Amino acid sequence: MTVSQDIKPVLVIHGGAGTIERSSMKPDKEKAIRKSLREALDKGYEVLEGGGSAMDAVEATIVFLEDSPWFNAGKGSVITKEGHHELDASIMDGATLNAGAVSGVKTLKNPIKSASLVSKKSPHVMLYGRGAEKFALENGMEKVENSYFTTPSRLERWKALNEGKGDNSLLEPSKYGTVGCVALDKNGNIAAGTSTGGMMNKAYNRIGDSPIIGAGTYADNKTCGVSCTGHGEFFIRIGVAKEISDQMEFGNKSLEEAVNYTIYQKLTDMEALGGLIAIDKEGNIAMPFNTPGMYRGFKQPNQTYVGIYGDD
């Protein structure tokens, strides 16, 4: 394949969408979240600038976001009805269409690393629960106690929901906490990844769209890379991430046309809330959402942007 020398690396991230408004955000929290988003962009873009692959950049970026307590992925994940954490993640390589995912894991420090491992060392695409953990640990992934993922604010919210303890004002408005990253590297390859702790107080081992290739994550060098955040049940029904790619490949739509139709028309007509991030093969970026806010940002040559609210 002949690679254009004009390709410039691009990285875009999200940290969840929902009812995220200035009036309810404390200044110190906003400052910390913006700082974390910017540092995540720097972490991933450093990989791209050094000639690293889009896959490596996506993994490095999401590892940083999983390690941050501000987002619902890895450290800081929400708590299930039973009082523990169940984490999901997926990653996809647009050059090969190879993909990996883990779901319902409880002891893997960085689920995105394990998803990447599945894509590289397993003949399967998705592994679940204890089997996913066994595979990851046999291949050198880091194990932690489930309590590692708990933060005081998440625990207090969970108690307010389930035990009648804590301050009910701590119950945050509707927010679909997920982290994701899409990258375009110097070789023109696209990758996308998504990681989440799921829904607060979820029961029955509920699984959303984040670990499902084609729903929450998709990448294809011919079209685009996509990572979603929102009410996962609707994103699964539509197959949002793959639908964006299909509109571009078979409907000859631009990235902007495809994402705008899916988010602002199709999902909105279903009264489904959320957003997504995407990069096309030309390096164009999209970050649409139909909620009041979405933690988001992008980095490309000579430009870095971080946003939270709809008017950022």
d(CA 272, CA 207): 17
Token pair belonging to 37: 């988003």
Is the distance from CB of 98 to CB of 115 less than 8 angstroms? no
Q: Per residue of the chain (312 residues), give pLDDT as tens.
A: 333 457 899 999 999 998 888 988 999 999 999 999 999 999 999 999 999 999 999 999 999 999 999 999 999 999 999 999 999 999 999 999 999 999 999 999 999 999 999 999 999 999 999 999 999 999 999 999 999 999 999 999 899 888 765 544 444 445 567 999 999 999 999 999 999 999 999 999 999 999 999 999 999 999 999 999 999 999 999 999 999 999 999 999 999 999 999 999 999 999 999 999 999 999 999 999 999 999 999 999 999 999 999 998
Scanning the structure block, which residue is given the tokens 């491992």? Answer: 117
Token pair belonging to 62: 């999401």
Q: Domain boundaries in the chain?
A: 10-307
Beta strands of the chain (E only): which ranges? 10-18, 87-93, 99-105, 126-128, 175-176, 179-184, 190-196, 217-219, 224-230, 274-280, 285-286, 293-300, 303-309
- The pTM score is 0.94
Distance of alpha carbon 232 from its chain centroid, rounded?
Answer: 12
Catalytic residue among 61, 178, 196, 223: 178
Name the fold adopted by 10-307. Glutamine Phosphoribosylpyrophosphate, subunit 1, domain 1 (3.60.20)
β-bridge mates for residue 229, sequence order: 275
Nearest alpha carbon to residue 193 among 104, 99, 306: 99
Is the distance from CB of 115 to CB of 211 less than 8 angstroms? yes
Q: Count CA within 13 A, CB hemisphere, residue 218.
A: 22
Is the distance from CB of 300 to CB of 12 less than 8 angstroms? no
Give catalytic status of residue 19 as yes or no. no
Burial of 26 (0-12, 13-18, 19+ CB in 10 A): exposed
DSSP 252: -
Which alpha helices (DSSP H) does 98-254 contain, by range?
111-121, 129-138, 152-162, 232-238, 240-251
